[in-house]
A and B are shown apart, each in its own frame.
Chain A
Amino acid sequence: MRLDILDRGHRLHTKAIMALIRVFSGHPVVDAVKLAFYRQNFYGGGPLTHEAMRGQSDWSVGDRELMAAYVSKINECPFCVSAHSATSTMWYADEAKVAATLTDLKTAPIDEPLRATLRMLGKLTHENGLEADDILAVLASSVSVEQIKDALAVSLVFNITDRLANAFGFTIPSPEATNAGARFLLKRGYR
């Protein structure tokens, strides 16, 4: 973590909560949690993230976690790729599917609507914008307007989070801690 305040600058009450997390999880507090707990009245991305990732949607939780991992791959954010591929893998109970999607979207064993949507999110993330034709291609793959909006919400959140993780220098936790984090995210979400 490149800023000491994100490691040690929390209020006493928050420090106590983080100490409890350490004790009960048996793992160090991950950097994403330290960021989420720091000055929540300034950044406080939790409610937006939770709504995008766990709010009502025709996309499954596993699909949205895979979108998060895919956007994070385009942003070259190893912390978020690791966390959200673990969460997606746990939800689908299919490691090969997630790994293949991140390796080669064209040949990955996923449904066409999800593939077209991930392609759109990849372009948006890489080029910082979309044209109407990009959207029409996704609509033509039997993705609804609501599903496109929901996917764009995931992209909004992870285009923020990836930048923060990279800029603040988040450390990737051990595989055990990553899986514990994934279990927590599936059980409780992001609030």
Chain B
Amino acid sequence: MPEIAQLQRELVARVLGGDGKATPELRRAAFENAGFGEPIRTLIEKVAERSYQVTDGDIAAVRAAGLSEDEIFEIVVCAAVGQASRQYASALAALAGAVEGKAGQ
């Protein structure tokens, strides 16, 4: 599946730099799961680390803080893509290390 790496890079480029309502800084912070105050921090941390715990209240709190639905949509997508991309990068690095180690034996 040689296309996967390219499709993943395109997805990351789209959500971080494509047309959107949230500022690039906000999207980058969501992608990295870092640098937020409340209530955005709780929502983004939950999306990245324990998405099953996200509640109606978490979304409502971020909406009440002044974010539009499209901004919330965008930062949630960024948080999800960010966490999954870090996992993927870690796994590919482990794979490269394993293949290299075997070749060196």
Q: Would you call A135 and B95 a contact (CB within 8 A)?
A: yes
Pair A75/B52 contact, Cβ less than 8 Å: yes
Is A42 in contact with B101, judged by CB distance below 8 angstroms? no
B60-100 residues with Cβ-Cβ distance < 8 A to A are 69-70, 72-74, 76-77, 79-81, 83-88, 90-92, 94-95, 97-99
**Does A162 touch B at the CB level, under 8 Å?**
yes
Using Cβ atoms and an 8 Å threshold, which residues of chain A touch B47? 163, 166-167
- Residues on the A chain within 8 Å of B95, using CB: 130, 132, 135, 145, 148-149, 152
| Chain B hits for A179, CB < 8 A | none
Number of A-B contacts (CB under 8 A): 152
A159 to B47 Cα, complex, angstroms: 11
Interface core residue of A4, A76, A132, A156 (most chain B CB under 10 Å): A156
Number of interface residues of A (CB under 8 A): 53
* Chain B, interface SS category: helix
Minimum CB–CB distance for A45 against chain B, Å: 7
What B residues does A39 contact at CB under 8 A?
70, 73
Residues of A within 8 A of B43 (CB): 167
Q: Considering only CB atoms, which chain B residue lies closest to A51 in the complex?
A: B3
Residue A153 at the B interface, CB < 8 A? yes
* A3, A9, A38: residue with the most chain B Cβ atoms closer than 10 Å: A3
Chain A positions near chain B (C-beta within 8 angstroms): 2-6, 9, 38-39, 41-45, 47-48, 51-52, 55-57, 75-77, 124-125, 128-136, 139, 145, 148-150, 152-153, 155-157, 159-160, 162-164, 166-169
Chain B residues proximal to chain A, CB less than 8 Å: 1, 3-4, 7-8, 11, 14-15, 18-20, 43, 46-48, 51-52, 54, 56, 59, 69-70, 72-74, 76-77, 79-81, 83-88, 90-92, 94-95, 97-99, 101-102
**A-B contacts, 12 listed (Cβ < 8 Å):** A2-B59, A5-B73, A9-B69, A47-B7, A48-B8, A129-B86, A132-B94, A139-B98, A152-B91, A152-B92, A152-B95, A166-B54
